[in-house]
Amino acid sequence: MDSDNDSPFGYDAYRRTCPSHTVLEMLASKWVYLTVCALRRGRMRNGELARKLEGITPKMLTQTLRVLERDGLVRREIFPVIPPRVEYELTDLGRNLAGLLNQIRSWSEEHAPDIKAARTRASMDPQADIATLG
């Protein structure tokens, strides 16, 4: 989808065939990144996760975990006891994704300051015209 030929970059083709889209779409979900990071430390109960991901609602917690489970990144284990006990952990694939997150994080730490700086400049620019007029 980037270095092949000079054919068009249709979004539909991108969505259906480009592997990057699958991954980026996942990472775009609001709680996915934080959830994977939280689970990097190891197996965890639902309640522990809820506390770690502070501010998350039960609905979003479940929804996020279900998606990650469906995609093979998280394994869910149910203990048939009262009161209920459910534990989550990263699969190999999930830990592998965490590796990609590290790469993203590494790039971001190095370059996010440049982006922030550009944003600041951009928001100053309307003034800059005036400032240079004196």
Partner DNA sequence: CGGTATCCCGGCCGATACTG
Partner DNA sequence: CAGTATCGGCCGGGATACCG
Position among 8, 19, 42, 58 found at the interface with DNA (CB under 7 A) = 58
Of 65-73, 80-88, 126-134: span binding a second copy (CB under 8 A): 65-73
Residue 44 interacts, among DNA, a second copy, none and using kind-specific CB cut-offs from 5 to 8 Å, with none
Least distance to a second copy from the beta carbon of 71, Å?
5
117 secondary structure, DSSP code: H
Burial of 92 (0-12, 13-18, 19+ CB in 10 A): exposed
Nearer to DNA, 60 or 98 (CB): 60
If binding is defined by CB under 8 A, does position 80 make contact with a second copy?
A: no
Nearer to a second copy, 85 or 111 (CB): 111
Ranges within 38-57 binding a second copy (CB under 8 A): 38, 40-41, 51-56
If binding is defined by CB under 8 A, does position 6 make contact with a second copy?
A: yes
CA gap 38, 34 in Å, rounded: 6
Distances (CA, A) of 116 to 27, 102, 121, 122: 21, 20, 9, 10
Tokens of 81: 């006891």
Quote the distance between the C-alpha of residue 7 and its chain's center: 29
Report, in angstroms and rounded to the nearest whole number, the Rg of the chain calculated over CA atoms: 21
If binding is defined by CB under 8 A, does position 104 make contact with a second copy?
A: yes
If binding is defined by CB under 7 A, does position 59 make contact with DNA?
A: yes
